[in-house]
Amino acid sequence: MDIGQWLRGLGLQSYEQAFRDNGIDFDVLPRLTADDLKEIGVLPVGHRRKILDAIGEVAQRASADHSSTEMPHQAERRQLTVMFCDLVGSTALSARLDPEDLQEILRAYRSQVKDVVRRHGGYIAKYMGDGALVYFGYPQAHEDDAERAVRAGLELAKRIGKLNTAVGEPLNARIGIATGLVVVGDLISSGESQERGIAGETPNLAARLQERAEAGAVVLSDATRRLLGDLFELTKLTPSVLKGFPEPVQAWRALGEGHAESRFAALHGTRLTPLIGRGEELELVLSRWRQAKEGGGQVALISGEPGIGKSRLVLALRERLQDEPKAIVSYACSPHHVHSALFPFIAQLERSLAFSPTHSREARHSRLESLLQETVPEPSDAVVALFAELLGIPTGTQEAIAAMSPQQKKGLLFCTFVAQLEGLAAQGALLIVLEDAHWLDPTSRELFDQIVDRLQRLPVLLVVTFRPELSPPWIGFPHVTLLTLNRLAKAQARSLVERITGGKALPSEVLEQILARTEGVPLFTEELTKTVLESGFLGDAGDRYVLAGPLPPLAIPVTLHDSLMARLDRLAPVKEVAQIGACIGREFDHELLAGVVSLTEAELQAALDRLVAAELVFRRGVAPATTYMFKHAMVRDAAYESLLRKRRQDLHARIASAIEIRFPRIIEAQPELVARHFSEAGLKEKAIGYWLQAGRLAAARSANVEAIAHLRAGLASITDFPGTSRSQWELSLQLALGGPLLATKGFASSEVETAYRRAQYLSRELGRDTDLFTALRGLGYVHHVRGDLRQSMREFPEAIDLARRIGEPALLVQAYHFAGV
């Protein structure tokens, strides 16, 4: 299709020439803004809106096509939600049915599976007879994969139950869902049988849960349940022993949708910490509220990245206005209903009507009628019928709207919705909340365009939250204010951690790691702190936590896995460049990256441009000295951890060699960098020399803590070295450790003594007099400061003998000095 054809499809062919004159084709289309359209002469707001909505659909379609066909080249480690679906009693069916009828049933069943899974963004890995294995989170992760899986499971169970079959009795599906870390990729990659297999316990668990599910039931693993908050109504099943699992397994049955008012309430509602910071932002919105109450309606747009605290701010606003007389109407968009016309309006109505499954059709209808009567003066039959149609309540009043065109129906619906809000505003101040407008469907957007225009003369504050992927709507109207939420300051993030730990202090190195990795994004801070508390490496010492052992690297919280991976997967073709960058580190240098990737300079540049445009990384400096930095440490970690261990090692080896060959200045200034890459590559012999060099360099700069860390890293790499070579390296490392330990731990510390003792032993073993002298001198300091003169007396004659043997007068002076003190 060309652009002219596309415009004709929208009934806007008059702009074809303008589009062509300005060089707008399908490549540019997704990036067009309302301002661009204005500039090229699309002046009526309605036309601009129509074009932007249609662009949104093109982009959505492109990304859906893309995600279904784009397969990662390499196997990856990922968190996946796996669904197993099976037909109940199919063996019995096959005995009773003619094979042709059976085939017909299977065909219908598979087509349902395919349709439901596709619509929820899943991926059918394979069919096994009447079973289907489905992945959610591959090849494209979504922040809500677990939710998608459950939604798909519930819908599938319902649909299979309704399938028309030749047998005359209903069919039933059994569904098991589990979430966990797996390796996914072409495990069996020979020709035709190529299949995206996964390795890990998760698929097995999903299969076992499916086996124990009752007919028509959807059963979830505990790990899946933890990702769902209160989004669904669940019942806890009794733990059961499953084949292949040592402990009884806790599982849950999903019954249906939950009843929370919003996603925020469902996902964070039960465990809220008090608001931290955001005082200015809250004041700004409150001042708009005061203006609105005077009759000058206002719109406050709150934009910010996921988890930054938009919904929390809205909640704080509602709390602050708790005692004021007002009405509140809240609309919430959903990632699963981006294309369902008027979804937020329908959902809001359904919440106010609070239907229960026991309500009859008549009861529903009369509730709807009385709701409409409360808000619209004398609703006509047509209005009631339209709303009944919108809510899917079949009634006998349909003839009232039978003759109306779709356009007329829409016009009347819009008028009624607007009139409802105007009716409320006529009674007093009104707060309207629209959450997650980046998922607003095009029809609702059109309706909100009208509402925004209309509320200027009403006592209404409309608060809209959205992520930066939506360029701020309605900007330019005098009554619209845009507020962008930034990350919390370090001190605020620290208080957030404190509130989650219930005021108990964390060991400082743990706290620092949490703050460094989460960088003031409240959601990250909350989730990582909770993960740390649950991880079991902290002991509870009453008013504080203590480390029960050495601090392991902090894992990415399972609750964040999907959303972090989703950000990377959106950039599927260039994701590999991000992964290689992540291997280099949070910051990576263009030149070094170029030395590691197998791409031409132009290809690499294009890939980096995409990463920058998607705000995954920031660019600094001018070519060729450009460096890049991941916007979030967590995204870097997710990119890194998605690589298979083997591939990570290869990449580290390539990076280390590239540094050795091309960047002597890095080796001179930061030998620890190349040491780390060699260590991660498993090339310990190469790593060790650089660790030693890094330790000595840091010690020479009095960076003693760093020196100790480098030298200890060196010691950790020699454990499996053969005899003499191990002793030689260890001797050098222990001796180098002595000075920085003396400086930081004090002369009398046992760590200093251990280092020098070990050096004394090793230098004797290797017959190294000068090193032995250094070790003895070190021990001399320790004994002296501890006042352990007897031990000193025992060691100094050996030091004097040694100095004589070495024939170095300076050493002799030192030996006598140390004997004299």
Ligand X SMILES: Nc1ncnc2c1ncn2[C@@H]1O[C@H](COP(=O)(O)OP(=O)(O)OP(=O)(O)O)[C@@H](O)[C@H]1O
Q: Which stretches of 170-291 are assigned E, i.e. beta strand?
A: 173-188, 195-199, 218-221, 232-236, 251-257
Which is nearer to Mg ion, 487 or 684 (by Cβ)?
A: 487
Give the relative orientation of helices 361-375 and 381-390 as an angle to the nearest 10 degrees: 120
Pick one of 24, 308, 634, 815: the residue that binds ligand X (CB under 6 A): 308
Per DSSP, the residues of 431-499 read EEEEE-GGG--HHHHHHHHHHHHHGGGSSEEEEEEE-TTSPPTTBTBTTEEEEE--PPPHHHHHHHHHH
The rounded distance, in Å, linking the Cα atoms of 701 and 670 is 12
Q: What six digits make up the tokens of 378? A: 């004398």
Site string for ligand X, 206-245 (x = CB under 6 A): ----------------------------------------
Q: Does residue 557 touch ligand X according to CB under 6 A?
A: no
CA separation, residue 733 to residues 479, 675, 684, 702, 742 (Å): 68, 14, 14, 17, 14
Which is nearer to ligand X, 205 or 267 (by Cβ)?
A: 267
Residue 151 C-beta-side C-alpha neighbours within 13 Å: 20
| Binding partner at 203 among Mg ion, ligand X, none, C-beta below 5 to 8 Å by kind | none
Site for ligand X in 399-458 (CB under 6 A): 436
Q: How far is the CB of 226 from Mg ion (least distance, A)?
A: 19
Pick one of 45, 255, 272, 363: the residue that binds ligand X (CB under 6 A): 272
User: What single-letter DSSP state applies at residue 357?
Assistant: T
The rounded distance, in Å, linking the Cα atoms of 819 and 821 is 6
Q: How far is the CB of 195 from ligand X (least distance, A)?
A: 34
Q: Does residue 467 touch ligand X according to CB under 6 A?
A: yes
| Binding partner at 309 among Mg ion, ligand X, none, C-beta below 5 to 8 Å by kind | ligand X
Helix or strand or coil: residue 342? coil
- The interface region with ligand X, picked from 270-278, 293-301, 379-387, 532-540 by CB under 6 A, is 270-278
Pick one of 22, 63, 273, 348: the residue that binds ligand X (CB under 6 A): 273
- The interface region with ligand X, picked from 310-318, 441-449, 620-628, 671-679 by CB under 6 A, is 310-318
Contact yes or no for 747/781 (Cβ under 8 A): yes
Residue closest to Mg ion (Cβ): 311
> Phi and psi at residue 655, in whole multiples of 5°?
-65, -45
- The interface region with ligand X, picked from 66-74, 272-280, 400-408, 641-649 by CB under 6 A, is 272-280
The rounded distance, in Å, linking the Cα atoms of 527 and 641 is 18
> Phi and psi at residue 570, in whole multiples of 5°?
-60, -20
Which is nearer to ligand X, 171 or 523 (by Cβ)?
A: 523
Which among 290, 321, 299 is positioned nearest to 433, based on CA atoms? Answer: 299
Which is nearer to ligand X, 281 or 422 (by Cβ)?
A: 281
Helix or strand or coil: residue 173? strand
Q: How far is the CB of 522 from ligand X (least distance, A)?
A: 3
| Binding partner at 737 among Mg ion, ligand X, none, C-beta below 5 to 8 Å by kind | none
Q: How far is the CB of 281 from ligand X (least distance, A)?
A: 9
The rounded distance, in Å, linking the Cα atoms of 56 and 54 is 5
Q: Does residue 760 touch Mg ion according to CB under 5 A?
A: no
The rounded distance, in Å, linking the Cα atoms of 195 and 211 is 24
The rounded distance, in Å, linking the Cα atoms of 90 and 112 is 16
Amino acid identity for residue 813 in this structure: V
Q: How far is the CB of 313 from Mg ion (least distance, A)?
A: 9
Which is nearer to ligand X, 216 or 335 (by Cβ)?
A: 335
The rounded distance, in Å, linking the Cα atoms of 664 and 647 is 25
Q: How far is the CB of 264 from Mg ion (least distance, A)?
A: 5
Residue closest to ligand X (Cβ): 309
Q: How far is the CB of 330 from ligand X (least distance, A)?
A: 13
Which is nearer to Mg ion, 312 or 758 (by Cβ)?
A: 312
| Binding partner at 144 among ligand X, Mg ion, none, C-beta below 5 to 8 Å by kind | none
- The interface region with ligand X, picked from 157-165, 273-281, 370-378, 447-455 by CB under 6 A, is 273-281
Number of H helices, E strands in the chain: 36, 18
Task: Give the neighbor-by-neighbor strand order of the sheet with 298-303.
Answer: 327-332, 430-435, 460-466, 298-303, 480-484
Site for Mg ion in 264-323 (CB under 5 A): 264, 310-311
Per the listing, tokens 């919390």 go with 488
CA separation, residue 579 to residues 493, 641, 678 (Å): 28, 9, 18
User: Could you give the dihedral angle defined by the CA atoms of residues 704, 686, 517 and 538, in that order, rounded to the nearest 10 degrees?
Assistant: -70
Site for Mg ion in 343-362 (CB under 5 A): none
Which is nearer to Mg ion, 4 or 335 (by Cβ)?
A: 335
Which is nearer to ligand X, 454 or 530 (by Cβ)?
A: 530
All residues at 6 or more sequence positions from 84 whose CB lies less than 8 Å from its CB, including other chains: 131, 132, 133, 134, 175, 176, 177, 203, 206, 207, 209, 210
Pick one of 130, 145, 422, 526: the residue that binds ligand X (CB under 6 A): 526
Say how many C-beta atoms besides its own lie within 10 A of residue 588's C-beta: 25
Q: How far is the CB of 310 from Mg ion (least distance, A)?
A: 5
Q: How far is the CB of 635 from Mg ion (least distance, A)?
A: 19
Site string for Mg ion, 498-537 (x = CB under 5 A): ----------------------------------------
Q: What six digits make up the tokens of 647? A: 């591939």
- The interface region with ligand X, picked from 236-244, 303-311, 468-476, 656-664 by CB under 6 A, is 303-311
Q: Does residue 311 touch ligand X according to CB under 6 A?
A: yes
Which is nearer to Mg ion, 6 or 264 (by Cβ)?
A: 264
- For ligand X (CB under 6 A), the number of binding residues is 22
Say how many C-beta atoms besides its own lie within 10 A of residue 43's C-beta: 9
Element (H, E) at 588: strand 587-589
Pick one of 275, 482, 572, 812: the residue that binds ligand X (CB under 6 A): 275
Q: Does residue 264 touch ligand X according to CB under 6 A?
A: yes
Q: How far is the CB of 715 from ligand X (least distance, A)?
A: 41
| Binding partner at 276 among Mg ion, ligand X, none, C-beta below 5 to 8 Å by kind | ligand X
Which among 562, 553, 498, 544 is positioned nearest to 525, based on CA atoms? Answer: 498
Q: How far is the CB of 534 from Mg ion (least distance, A)?
A: 24
Q: How far is the CB of 276 from ligand X (least distance, A)?
A: 4
Contact yes or no for 793/820 (Cβ under 8 A): no
Pick one of 306, 473, 739, 778: the residue that binds ligand X (CB under 6 A): 306
- The interface region with Mg ion, picked from 107-115, 258-266, 482-490, 744-752 by CB under 5 A, is 258-266
- For Mg ion (CB under 5 A), the number of binding residues is 3
The rounded distance, in Å, linking the Cα atoms of 723 and 730 is 11
Q: How far is the CB of 467 from ligand X (least distance, A)?
A: 5
Per the listing, tokens 């098991």 go with 176
| Binding partner at 467 among ligand X, Mg ion, none, C-beta below 5 to 8 Å by kind | ligand X
| Binding partner at 522 among ligand X, Mg ion, none, C-beta below 5 to 8 Å by kind | ligand X
The rounded distance, in Å, linking the Cα atoms of 278 and 684 is 49
| Binding partner at 77 among ligand X, Mg ion, none, C-beta below 5 to 8 Å by kind | none
The rounded distance, in Å, linking the Cα atoms of 379 and 368 is 11
Q: Which stretches of 189-245 are assigned E, i.e. beta strand?
A: 195-199, 218-221, 232-236
The rounded distance, in Å, linking the Cα atoms of 809 and 821 is 19
Q: Does residue 304 touch ligand X according to CB under 6 A?
A: yes
Amino acid identity for residue 765 in this structure: E
Pick one of 122, 197, 229, 307: the residue that binds ligand X (CB under 6 A): 307
| Positions that interact with Mg ion (CB under 5 A) | 264, 310-311
Residues contributing to the site for ligand X (CB under 6 A): 264, 268, 272-273, 275-278, 304, 306-312, 436, 467, 496, 522-523, 526
